[in-house]
Structure 1
């Protein structure tokens, strides 16, 4: 079976690596254009591109796959990408966190299979891992689905569940689901080759949408219950990083847990080696790892040496 692979971040690169190591032929890889990253804002290739080039795979990076785009450059790149796909001998396109919409013209060339990091139909959309943690879901998983024009609406081929631990951040859960997705897509394609893979329509009930994460969401409102804020801290780690404003300084909060406590929301109730306890709308939040602008991530005890918080209040 010959594959075209479309993906961009590390979640997708894990799947590409699994398919390559399993022996599937991958003559072409699609990924998003290089983006500025890091303090120097130098152009950086995606994780998928880096793996593909290191293993001799052809890479295309169109800005869009919509040939009807009003932007002449995007339309031209889309036409070139479609011409390459139509000329290529392949059986299936595998898609994982590509970041570009696949129009009908692409979906009609060959079957397209998606690796999605949720238990569909829950959390269709761009940020399923973040939203599952933020909502307090007890479990999530990976769904292998046949793609159609709707947003993650296609029939499901395989689905596996993973418990969300109280200590899971988006970063840790991402790594679990990426590894699971890599294993599952290999299994799905082998079953497809053997004619044993069936697709089942998604249930009509239980549909939710995982909207893209905005940086504004990272600003914590301490009038909310501590349980809710603790989930937000985990959901926004590593991106965009939960934030609290104290004494005019925006502090990133990387680890926190709900504890007993009472006071005006935002009031620092305790600040010592055990952590920084901040009153919330219900209960309190103990901040265990923090970071000042331009500084390093520090455990609470180390953070307090350079930024005493006793008597202050998060606004």
Structure 2
């Protein structure tokens, strides 16, 4: 089976490696253009591109796939590459570009010379992998659809305190993660899971599942089932502004956000005009904060900094100052003056204006 692969970050690279290890032929990889990154802002290739180059696979990096968009030449070149690849299916994993209708149509059209057309439409389960038909575009989505459609399903699952998540292999259509489900597998979210840790487990799961899906499709054993109409939620893109901790929230909710925003963008708070990132914590059930301000430091010891929240308190155990590295609380406090009574999240006092 010939598989076009479209993906960009590490999550997608894991899937590409699994497809290659399973013996699938990948004649073309689509990935995002190289981007400047790091302190030197040098152009960096994506993990998927690096993998493709290591395996000698042709790479296309269109800035857009819209033929009527800002970069029509990029889209036209990508269309020509897709046609030349003579693929049976496109696998998409965290690609970063919306697939326009022409891509969906091209990958669902019958392969000449058989003239058969892939089944589409309808609400009844149908077999994928019919003889003579392309299989369309299959997406590896890191959630239990229809919960957490959209760009940041791993972050939002942790932020919301979900007990489980998983991977859905989906038949792509014109909507935002609305296509029929082909395979689904659940995965528990541990109370200490960060986005980084959960990402790695989901990437491994997604790689295994897409191989399974294509092997089932090859023998006509893959069934497509429409998504439920209930339980739909959207995982909107993570914005840097969300990283600021709101100490009026319950300690449990703040903790979920700390884990959800690790590694990006990192939950942060202000203290004496400096930004501090919080990477690890414990919920402190022994502190009473009914008469304390939200964000007020209740106590400090070698185990951490205890801060009053809207409900309960958090013991901050791993912190980082701007330009520094993550440090255990005891090490952090040797270089940063925090004291009980200080209030985190408040701007520094402004100097009085002379009369």
TM-score (norm 1): 0.98
- Cα distance between partner residues in 2 of 1:313 and 1:123: 35
Q: Which runs of 5+ in 1 are unaligned?
A: none
- CA shift at 1:36, angstroms? 0.9
Q: Which runs of 5+ in 2 are unaligned?
A: 108-135, 346-355
Q: Do the aligned residues in 1 keep the contact of 2:67 with 2:76 (CA within 8 Å)?
A: yes
1:268 aligns with 2:297: yes
Q: Do the aligned residues in 2 keep the contact of 1:247 with 1:313 (CA within 8 Å)?
A: no
- CA shift at 1:257, angstroms? 2.5
Secondary structure of the structure 2 residue equivalent to 1:309 = coil
Map Cα deviations across residues 222-250 of structure 1 (whole Å, 9 max, x no partner). 01110100000000000000001111110
Q: Do the aligned residues in 2 keep the contact of 1:28 with 1:59 (CA within 8 Å)?
A: yes
- CA shift at 1:54, angstroms? 0.7
- Cα distance between partner residues in 2 of 1:270 and 1:19: 52
Q: Do the aligned residues in 2 keep the contact of 1:272 with 1:304 (CA within 8 Å)?
A: no
- CA shift at 1:272, angstroms? 1.5
Secondary structure of the structure 2 residue equivalent to 1:49 = helix
- Cα distance between partner residues in 1 of 2:250 and 2:179: 37
Map Cα deviations across residues 143-175 of structure 1 (whole Å, 9 max, x no partner). 000000100000000000000000000000000
Deviates more, 1:27-36 or 1:248-257: 248-257
The partner residue of 2:308 within 279, 296, 311 is 279
Map Cα deviations across residues 107-142 of structure 1 (whole Å, 9 max, x no partner). 111100000000000000000000000000000000
Matches within 5 A, 1:1-315: 1-69=1-69, 71=70, 74-110=71-107, 111-260=136-285, 261=287, 262=289, 263-311=292-340, 312-315=342-345
Map Cα deviations across residues 164-188 of structure 1 (whole Å, 9 max, x no partner). 0000000000000000000000000
Q: Do the aligned residues in 2 keep the contact of 1:31 with 1:98 (CA within 8 Å)?
A: yes
Q: Do the aligned residues in 2 keep the contact of 1:8 with 1:97 (CA within 8 Å)?
A: yes
- Cα distance between partner residues in 1 of 2:76 and 2:6: 16
- CA shift at 1:87, angstroms? 2.4
Q: Do the aligned residues in 2 keep the contact of 1:271 with 1:304 (CA within 8 Å)?
A: no
Matched pairs, number: 312
Larger Rg: 2
- Cα distance between partner residues in 1 of 2:42 and 2:282: 36
Secondary structure of the structure 1 residue equivalent to 2:262 = coil
- Cα distance between partner residues in 1 of 2:325 and 2:32: 30
- Cα distance between partner residues in 1 of 2:155 and 2:81: 35
- Cα distance between partner residues in 2 of 1:96 and 1:272: 45
CA RMSD of aligned residues (A): 0.7
TM-score (norm 2): 0.87
Q: Do the aligned residues in 1 keep the contact of 2:4 with 2:85 (CA within 8 Å)?
A: no
Secondary structure of the structure 1 residue equivalent to 2:12 = helix
